[in-house]
Structures are given as C-alpha cells and as structure tokens.
Amino acid sequence: MARRRLMPGVTGQGSTPAPAARSGPQAPIATTVADAAGTAALEEMAGALQSARDSGRMILDLPLDKISADHLSRDRIPVEDEEMAALRESLRLHGQRTPIEVTPLEGTALPYGLISGWRRLHALKALVAETGESRFSTVQAIIRKPDTVADAYVNMVEENEVRVGLSQYERARVAALATQRGIFPTEKAALLALFASASRAKRSRIRAFLELYHALDGVLRFPTHLPERLGLQLVDAVRAGEAGRIAEKIAAADPGSPEEELEALRQALAPGTAPAKPRPKKTAAETVEIEPGIALEQSLSGKTLTLKLRGRGVTPELRDRVMRALKNLD
C-alpha cells in the first residue's frame, strides 16, 4: 500500500495548519508597560517595607555596637542579680524572644539610641564577651520614632512597668534624672508625664522616694530591693534630719547583699537607735502681781513663751474680758 506523504505544515486528515511562529522584536509599547508595572510593584513593596520599618511593625537584626545604651537616663538601675543571670541563660538556650526598642539618632557616633530593653542588650553583650559566638552579636529591635525625648522617656517607663515593673526608687530616680537633663521643667511635671496612669496616691509615694533619692543616692547600694514600707520609714527619718546618721550606719555595716543592707537599715530605724533630741532649755518661771488678787506667771521654753494668770481675782468674768481683749488685737 502506498504511503501518503503529508505536505509541510499538515498533520493529517482533517487537521489544520499549525500557526506560524512569530518572529521579530516585540512592540515597544508592550515592553514599556511591563517595565512600568514591574517598577511600580517594586516601589510599592519598598514603600510598604519602609512604612513597616518606620511604624515599628518590622523586627530588624541590628549590631550591638550600633546602639547607644545611654541615649536616655535609664529607669532600670544596672545590677548583677539572679534575674540577669537567668536572662543570659535563657538567651543562651532559646535566643531572643522579645525585641528591644530603638530610635534613629542624627549627628551622633551611633545610629540608634536605646529606648527600652537595657537588660536584654547588656545580657547579649555579656554573652558575646563570654562565648565569642556571632549569634549573640546582633539584637532583634523595633524602630520607634517618638515625637519628643519626653515621649521616649514615657515609652521606656511604660515598657518596663508592663514587662518587669519598677521599684519605687527606680521610678523616683528616672523622674529626677529626666528633670536634671531638662526633659521636664520640674520633678512634679516629670511625675505627671511619666506616671500619668498612676493614681494620685501612687505618685505621692513616688514623690516621697524622690526625697530619699536626693538624700541617699550613692549611699544605698541595693536601692531597687528597698520595700515600699521601709522606704517610707526612711523618708520620715530623712525629713527628721537623720540622713547623715543612716549613711554612717550603712558604711559601718558595709553590706555585700540586699539582705545585709535591709538589715542594716532596719537596725538604723529601730526604736532607741536614734540619738535623743535635746530638750529645749526652760527658764525659771517669773511671777508678777498685776493687781491685788491677780498674778501673771511667765516662763520661756525654747522659743515658746507661756503666760498664766493666777490668784483669787482670776474669775470667769476676767477670763471673758481677756478673751475679748485678745480678739480685738487683730
């Protein structure tokens, strides 16, 4: 049987010719539209990423040596304790779980300033120094852009209040330091801004600890461990002029732990340990007869002058006359 030869482009009975392949360059407008669409998509993505970065919705890995830990006067007092040791061990085993907060800095040696996360930042630095492992050389961070430095202080305090809480001494300390740096005009204004959500009674207690901070900062070695009740007792002692004596007691005790310092403070505040206040000198009473049957006795104790009327002539009627005369003195 003869074989049927097919013509080029024909596939068989009932088939249709295959479309010829297009040749030559694409239309210029198609290429332009595709390029424009790609550029727009990239710009939109870049804008979305920049917006997420600026609004704090993106977590970045930042080198530890690019962050200024002293951008703000810290509310947390640096201390090597069990909590810091536990934090280092957690970072060693599980890595960082909660990002710190930083803000961009201009005109400074370091590009970022720390807002919150002081303990995490320093725990990672300690791990780098201890192990030399590169996995600890960066920190997960969120970028914040507070409108003012005062807002940055508020953010720092709020973050620490929520996460770990602050001692009354630390609350007072950050209010004092922020005022000293000129962030707030007065310590009262600092308290109102930094602890706006606190009750009036709580702010009053923090204000009392401000007196303690000004009197004994640098003397107390473990002030963050000071219970509120004992701290308020110390405030009363400071107001009574006992700050110097308490400082001497702490120096003599030379406490090496919070427990030892608390015991030294309790002993300093124990009844009978404060020196007896000298009684004011009292002069002998002098009596002068001002009319028959009426004598005036006067005595001076310190700066207090006491006058007494004595004798058979001192009657209720005389008392009323004296009271009227005293009222007329105004």
Supply φ then ψ for residue 220, to 5 degrees.
-70, 130
- pTM, two decimals, is 0.53
Cα separation values, 66 from 103, 162, 185, Å: 11, 26, 31
Supply the mean pLDDT for the chain: 78
Can you tell me the distance from the alpha carbon of 103 to that of 157, in angstroms, rounded to the nearest whole number? 15
Angle, in degrees to the nearest 10, between helices 168-180 and 187-194? 120
Pairing of strands 112-116, 67-68: parallel
Instruction: Count the residues in the chain.
Output: 330
Q: DSSP class of residue 282? A: B
Q: In terms of pLDDT, which residue wins out, 228 or 318?
A: 228
Residues whose CB is less than 8 angstroms from the CB of residue 72 and which lie 6 or more positions away in sequence, other chains included: 113, 114, 115, 149, 152, 153, 156
Which amino acid is residue 126, in one-letter code? A
Which amino acid is residue 67, in one-letter code? I
Most confidently modeled of 1-10, 191-200, 294-303, 306-315?
191-200
pLDDT in tens, 61-96: 999 999 988 777 654 555 556 778 888 999 999 999
Q: What value does the CA radius of gyration of the chain take, rounded to a whole number of Å?
A: 40
Looking at 95-137, list the stretches that DSSP marks H as alpha helix, in order from N- to C-terminal side: 118-131
Query: E strand or H helix at 59, and its extent?
Result: strand 59-63
Strand partners, 310: 295
pLDDT in tens, 9-68: 444 444 445 555 555 555 566 666 556 656 665 665 555 555 555 555 578 899 999 998
pLDDT reading at 240 higher than 80? yes
